[in-house]
Amino acid sequence: MPSAKRNTKSTVSPGQPVTLRLTPAQRADIERASKSAGYPNASAFMRESVLRAVRRDDQVTELAAIESRMAASFDAMRQRVRALENASQMMLAYQDATAKLLLSCLPEPPPDAIKAATASAKKRYERLMKAIALEMTGDVAGVAAELAKRAE
């Protein structure tokens, strides 16, 4: 029931009469509700109530269609996220295998060349991070740029 008083005019124009069989208690409840809601009479209140119920059924059908479309969208997003997760795992596995290959195939520098090799490696690493930052697009570009700054 609306909390504010309604206009004294019904928004629905009367049409052909419909007969309802009500108990005296039901009739009294309808009369009381129509007066408290501000309707001019019980008929106007009942017309509005019936139309509201019909509209509610239409809204439920429309809401079900919206929910169905949303579920399909969520499912499509879930599939895309899963594909990205798989690609990310594949890239990490590739990176791990590459690192293992390099570490097992490249010899350690001699002890007297470690400082020079470390300095050279740092410079190459900085260039690598900058090159990665230039290749990245979107939000990831900011992350890569931050990594390149840290390397400096």
For residue range 86-100, list pLDDT tens digits in order: 998 999 899 999 989
The amino acid occupying position 3 is S
Which pLDDT band holds residue 8 (cuts at 50, 70, 90)?
A: very low
The pTM for the full model equals 0.46
For residue range 25-77, list pLDDT tens digits in order: 999 999 999 999 999 999 889 888 888 888 888 888 899 999 999 999 999 99
Cα atoms in the 13 Å half-sphere on the side-chain side of 65: 6
pLDDT score of 57: 82
As a whole number of angstroms, the distance between CA 121 and CA 129 comes to 12
For residue range 77-136, list pLDDT tens digits in order: 999 999 999 998 999 899 999 989 988 898 888 999 999 999 999 999 888 888 877 777
pLDDT score of 53: 84
SS3 1: coil
Give DSSP secondary structure letters for 23-67: -HHHHHHHHHHHHHTT-SSHHHHHHHHHHHHHHHHHHHHHHHHHH
What is the distance in angstroms between the CA of the first residue and the CA of the last residue of the chain?
A: 69
Whether residue 2 is predicted with pLDDT greater than 50 in this model: the reply is: no
As a whole number of angstroms, the distance between CA 90 and CA 92 comes to 5
pLDDT score of 148: 65
Instruction: List the structure tokens of 31.
Output: 């009369």
As a whole number of angstroms, the distance between CA 32 and CA 27 comes to 9
Q: How crowded is residue 133: how many other Cβ atoms within 10 Å of its Cβ?
A: 19
Do 108 and 119 touch, CB atoms closer than 8 A?
A: no
The amino acid occupying position 116 is A
> Which residues lie closer than 8 Å to 95 by C-beta, 6 or more apart?
none
